[in-house]
Structure 1
Amino acid sequence: MKRERIIFCDFDGTITVNDNIVAIMKHFKPEGWDRLVDQVISKTISIREGVGRMFALLPTSRKQEVIDYAIQNVTIRDGFAELLDYCRTRHITFLVTSGGIDFFVYPVLSAFPIPASHIYCNGSDFSGSHIQILWPHACDEHCGNDCGMCKTAIIRGYPKEQYERILIGDSVTDFEGAKLADTVFARSHLIGLCQNLGLHYYPFDNFHDVLRRLEENES
Structure 2
Amino acid sequence: MNPVVFCDFDGTITREETFVELLRTFTPEMSEKLIPRMYDLTLSLKDGVRRLLESVESRHYPEMLARMKSAPLREGFLEFLDDLKTRTIPLIVVTGGVEDFVRATLGASIRDVHSVYGLKVNTEGPFLRVFSEWESGTELVSKPRILEVAGKKMCANPPVLIGDSVTDLEAALACPVVFARDRLARYLTDRKKAYVPFEDFTEIRKAFTEMFPVDV
Q: What is the 5 A alignment of 1:155-166?
A: 155-157=147-149, 158=151, 162-166=156-160
Displacement of 1:109 in angstroms is 2.3
1:20-73: per-residue Cα shift (whole Å, max 9, x none)? 22111232343221111011112222112111111222212333223323333x
Out of 20, 23, 33, the position equivalent to 1:22 is: 20
Q: Confirm or deny that 1:91 pairs with 2:83.
A: no
TM-score normalised to structure 2 length = 0.89
- The equivalent of 1:169 in structure 2 is 163
Out of 120, 123, 140, the position equivalent to 2:120 is: 123
- The equivalent of 2:42 in structure 1 is 44
- May I ask how many residue pairs the two structures share in their alignment? 211
Deviates more, 1:153-162 or 1:173-182: 153-162
Out of 146, 154, 159, the position equivalent to 2:146 is: 154
1:90-129: per-residue Cα shift (whole Å, max 9, x none)? 2212110111113311222232144676111111011111
Match of 1:22, as an amino acid? V
Q: What is the 5 A alignment of 1:1-219?
A: 3-72=1-70, 74-114=71-111, 118-139=115-136, 144=137, 146-157=138-149, 158=151, 162-218=156-212
Q: 1:59, 1:170 → 2: CA distance?
A: 28
Match of 2:121, as an amino acid? S
1:92/1:103 CA distance change after superposition, 3 Å: closer
1:130 alignment partner, SS class:
coil
Structure 1: tracts of 5 or more residues without a match: none
1:116/1:6 CA distance change after superposition, 3 Å: closer
* 1:30 and 1:58 in contact (8 A); partners too: no
Q: 1:88, 1:61 → 2: CA distance?
A: 37
Q: 1:102, 1:215 → 2: CA distance?
A: 29
1:100 alignment partner, SS class:
strand
Structure 2: tracts of 5 or more residues without a match: none
Q: 2:200, 2:113 → 1: CA distance?
A: 24
Q: 1:38, 1:154 → 2: CA distance?
A: 26
1:195 alignment partner, SS class:
helix
2:56 alignment partner, SS class:
coil
Q: 2:41, 2:97 → 1: CA distance?
A: 18
Match of 1:151, as an amino acid? K
1:158-202: per-residue Cα shift (whole Å, max 9, x none)? 259932110000001111111121211000100011101111111
Deviates more, 1:99-108 or 1:63-72: 63-72
Superposition CA RMSD, Å: 2.0
